[in-house]
Amino acid sequence: MNTGLRITAFAAALAATFGTAYGVGKGVDSVVAESADTAESGENTPARHDSHTEESPDPGEGEGGEGGHASAPAGGLQISEGGYTLDLRTPGVTAGQRADLRFVIRDEDGRAVTAFQREHDKELHLIVASRDLVTYRHLHPVRAADGTWSTPVDLPKAGGYRVFADFTPAGKNAENLTLGADLAASGTYKPEKLPAPSDTAEVNGYEVELSGGLRPGAATELELKVSRDGGPVTDLQPYLGAYGHLVALRSGDLAYLHVHPNGEPGDGKTRPGPDISFTATAPSAGTYRLFLDFKHEGKVHTAAFTVRAP
């Protein structure tokens, strides 16, 4: 069975500065808010993501306190790659207020792209994460006929955020891309610390246990076990074609690691819980934040972990 892997590293400079101070994301202990899509079910065929092998620059020492990052395979080091550009039409929002996040994917001629391949039942996946890796959103925006994507977003705290657009343009030889752009939420600055490493997370009455860890340059297995009220959850529902989705972001530069689970619903051997297995390779030593999306009883929940790759 195949496991797709994409890593996106990018520069840490913000694109916009607000007159008022602004700060970091939602301070919850190993728990993040639910994803936007909470009513989808019945996805059965996840798409495969190919690994990118380009080398990224050394991001240097990150705010997670880990130095000596090595060069890492990377897919989208910047806002433009492979002739495509992420045109973020909403570079800033106000913290605590619901806003419409709008953007366009443009080709090398500046035209809005309107044809995409569907992956995990969507043409495009959008990740929004605060630079302190505490606030996380996995969104699925809607595309208008003119190529403008939009989705409502409500960021709880002021600060710097990163927007990741994950997509594959239509075409026989098109490659999957993850482009990134900076988003600022205005408001009063209040710094938050990254939650301490832990192998358990609680979210909305569920407990998720993490076994295994990340290791630089070596594929390792991560197993997450979902339980509720002390008992295992054995009837997880498919969400975007899988029983779980895992995204990892490296503290400091937010290098992006998207891992798909081992197995898929309907393959005759993958059970709907309580265990969800992934295989991943850390691009370097450092501190990472893991975000697991899983669906049960019609709702999507996100459990978050802080881990360190030695």
Q: Which string of b and e fits 8-29 if b means at least 16 CB within 10 Å?
A: bbbebebeeeeeeebbbbbbbe
pLDDT at 77: 53
What does each C-alpha distance from 219 to 7, 57, 131, 277, 282 come to in angstroms? 14, 22, 26, 13, 8
Q: Dihedral of the CA atoms 264, 269, 271, 272 (nearest 10)? A: 30
Q: Dihedral of the CA atoms 298, 304, 258, 142 (nearest 10)? A: 50
User: Half-sphere exposure of 10 toward its Cβ, with a 13 Å CA cutoff?
Assistant: 26
pLDDT at 176: 87
Low-confidence ranges of the chain (pLDDT < 70): 1-77, 258
pLDDT at 255: 82
CA distance 215 to 223: 14
Q: Please state which architecture CATH assigns to domain 11-33+75-186.
A: Sandwich (2.60)
Q: Checking phi first, is residue 229 left (phi over 0); if not, alpha (psi -120 to 50) or beta?
A: left
pLDDT at 71: 37
Domain range annotation of the chain: 11-33+75-186
Side chain identity, residue 85: T
CA distance 30 to 290: 10
pTM attached to this predicted model = 0.73
pLDDT at 1: 41
